Structure 1
Amino acid sequence: MYARILVATDGSNLSKKAVTSALQLAATCGAELIALKVVPRYPSAYFEGSIPLSADEIGRIEKQWSESAQAQLASIEKLAKAKSVACKAVTVKSDAVSDAIIATAKKHKAELIVMASHGRKGIKRLLLGSETQQVLTHSHIPVLVLR
């Protein structure tokens, strides 16, 4: 059915459920799993909502975010290994999460994107945006959304 499945994670409990489902699907299909974590860059301008920090401090924060992403992906790789699923962990640094997910899926020739949706509605969705909605709208490959 699928040879490569990309699962996008943000580390939330809902995202962990999506990872579990993607692992089960990959095991069933005999597919390779591509585990993706998109890491943002630290806002560098006052107008982007940042607190003025030194370059060293920003570097420390971004390094911490990157290390956290690596730890999350390592736990997914461990789960995949336990299910005998080939898994490739990918960390991408980008502020445009949906674009990074789609680009990574294309780059790794994924045939399915699996991700969670928090199901926000109304003003929360307007203010917080919906990365899932953006992926659904712009992806040319199938997207499985879990809630």
Structure 2
Amino acid sequence: MFKSILLPTDGSELSDKATAIAVEFARVHGARIVGITVIQPFPFAPMTDGAVIPDAEVFETQSSVAARKNVDRIAAAAAAAGIPFEGIVANSHNPYQEIVAAAEKHNCDIILMASHGRKGLNKLFLGSETQKVLAHTQLPVLVLR
């Protein structure tokens, strides 16, 4: 039924648990996994000449290295189970848009993703990429906690 699974990851422990579930799901369905990590661009803009801000180049480099490690962890889990895998590292201010676009581009028929289950003010201020994906895709989304 499901032949291509999109698995977004943010490198968290919860995402690692979702990876284990996705690998088993893919094994049962004879599916491939497309893993994606989305890097958000450098968030700081100096408002004055005297502002002290982190180095944007260092931020970008560290973000890219961390993103590649996130995708590589999924690749290793998939390889260990003999599951075909493709990894993507994308850049966007809106990760949910990259997730939805990747699912379409790679002909995925389901999205498996972890949700941190934030509530109250944390949900309001931090947002929920999972909620945004649910609102912007026509694909089934399996939300893991």
TM-score, with structure 2 as normaliser: 0.92
- State the Cα distance separating 1:75 from its structure 2 match: 1.9
Q: Partner of 2:23 in structure 1?
A: 23
Q: Partner of 2:36 in structure 1?
A: 36
**Residue pair 2:19, 2:77 contacting (<8 A) in 1 also:** no
- State the Cα distance separating 1:78 from its structure 2 match: 1.2
- State the Cα distance separating 1:20 from its structure 2 match: 1.0
- State the Cα distance separating 1:52 from its structure 2 match: 3.0
- State the Cα distance separating 1:89 from its structure 2 match: 0.7
Q: Distance between the aligned counterparts of 1:138 and 1:51, measured in 2?
A: 38
Structure 2 unaligned residues grouped into runs of 5+: none
Amino acid at match of 2:53: P
- State the Cα distance separating 1:60 from its structure 2 match: 2.3
Q: Partner of 1:135 in structure 2?
A: 133
For 1:96-107, list aligned pairs within 5 A: 96-107=94-105
Structure 1 unaligned residues grouped into runs of 5+: none
Q: Structure 1 vs Structure 2: percent identity of aligned residues?
A: 39
Q: Distance between the aligned counterparts of 2:70 and 2:9, measured in 1?
A: 9
Q: Partner of 2:115 in structure 1?
A: 117
For 1:47-126, list aligned pairs within 5 A: 52-53=53-54, 57-126=55-124
- State the Cα distance separating 1:58 from its structure 2 match: 1.1
Pick closer, same or farther for the CA change 1:107–1:51 going to 2, 3 Å.
farther
Q: Distance between the aligned counterparts of 2:129 and 2:34, measured in 1?
A: 18
TM-score, with structure 1 as normaliser: 0.91
Alignment length (residue pairs): 142
Aligned CA RMSD, in angstroms, stands at 1.5
Q: Distance between the aligned counterparts of 2:5 and 2:132, measured in 1?
A: 19
- State the Cα distance separating 1:63 from its structure 2 match: 1.4
